[in-house]
Amino acid sequence: MSSVGRKEENIHSITERKLTWFYIEKPTSKEVEFLAQRFHFHPLDLDDVLSRIQRPKIDEYEDYLFMVLHFPVFDKQNRITRPSEMDIFIGENYVVTVHCSGDLKPLAKFFQECETDKESRERYLGRSSGFLLYHILDRMVSSCFPILDKLTQNIDDVEEIILTKPVPATVREISLIRRDLISFRRVIHPQIAVIETLEREEYPFFKEEQEVYFGDVADHIRKIWDGLEDCKEVIDGLADTSNWLTSHRIQEVMRILTIFMAIIMPVEVVASIEGSNLLPQSWLHNPLLFVLSFVAQVGIVVAMILFLRRRRLWF
């Protein structure tokens, strides 16, 4: 027997045989009150549902599990991956998913698929709560791969332009990618322990081969973490390269300025002597002195250029 439950406030439900999936988005005190009356969950767990600062965790009770998980959502406007919280209550005959911010599209799409397609509903809800939980987590973890691929592509793009684009633009791009990478790593790393707990522990009401199913999800999330580690190594190397290029360009600028100063300073010394009061007044308006001074200045410039080229300090 299967049925699609009515919308009650912000609560949606699907029932297949003896299993019911309750789906809640952006919970308020009304939804929490419904959960308290329907399931008698621990008050601390219900408080965690309304809180937005919970770390990923799994709490075990006699007849249900409570999990807090975070999954990445990419903010296109600010170019950063942010965590989105999902709370899960799972017992023998029910799964409750509480989507705190409403931006986990893969979860909403999966629920809609089960809600509208009878075959999908029978496939995913027709066995056990543990089997449904596996598919929920598998969908959510799989949704991380496109975000990782986009991050990898951004790193590859920076790697191609790092030697051709101006330093300020490259440095800004590397900084944005590093910020996104750090945020992504903060989302993924705590989830590994939670998924591994599901893989390792035995829960009677799952009625499935936990090590096989949740081991598959654990392998996927570890693969994502390995990909993030690779990205970190590459972006750190690109940052070092960018810093070296910046330092090299600064050295080149200082070298050019030093060469010009080395050429100009002797000329300025001759010009300052010529215009000073050290020379007799009768010499100041002498055309021959001006010619000699000009020739001396040109000769100094030529001599300095030849000297620098001989020492291989010229361009």
Q: Which domain holds residue 306?
A: 254-310
Question: Can you give the pLDDT at residue 1?
Answer: 47
| pLDDT value of position 6 | 45
Mean residue pLDDT across the chain: 83
Where do we find the tokens 């989830």?
Answer: 191
pLDDT of residue 20: 94
> pLDDT tens digits, residue range 142-174?
999 999 999 999 999 888 888 776 667 788 888
Domain-embedded: residue 39: yes
Pairwise CA distance, residues 15 & 91, whole Å: 14
Asked whether residue 152 falls in the same domain as residue 272, the answer is no
The kind and range of the H/E element at 252 are helix 210-274
For the chain, the domain total comes to 2
Same-domain status, 170 and 275 = no
Alpha-carbon distance of 211 to 214, in angstroms, equals 6
115 falls within a domain:
yes
* Beta pairing, strands 19-25 & 94-99: parallel
What pLDDT digit, counting tens, does each position of 218-242 carry? Answer: 999 999 999 999 999 999 988 888 8
In a domain, 25, yes or no: yes
Provide the token pair at 249: 């360009």
Query: Cα separation of 261 and 35, whole Å?
Result: 79
User: In the prediction, which pLDDT does 208 show?
Assistant: 64
Domain membership of residue 263 (yes or no) is: yes
* Whether 202 and 303 share a structural domain: no
Verify that 198 and 305 share a domain, yes or no: no
CATH code of the domain covering residue 62: 3.30.460.20
Which has more pLDDT, 43 or 282? Answer: 43
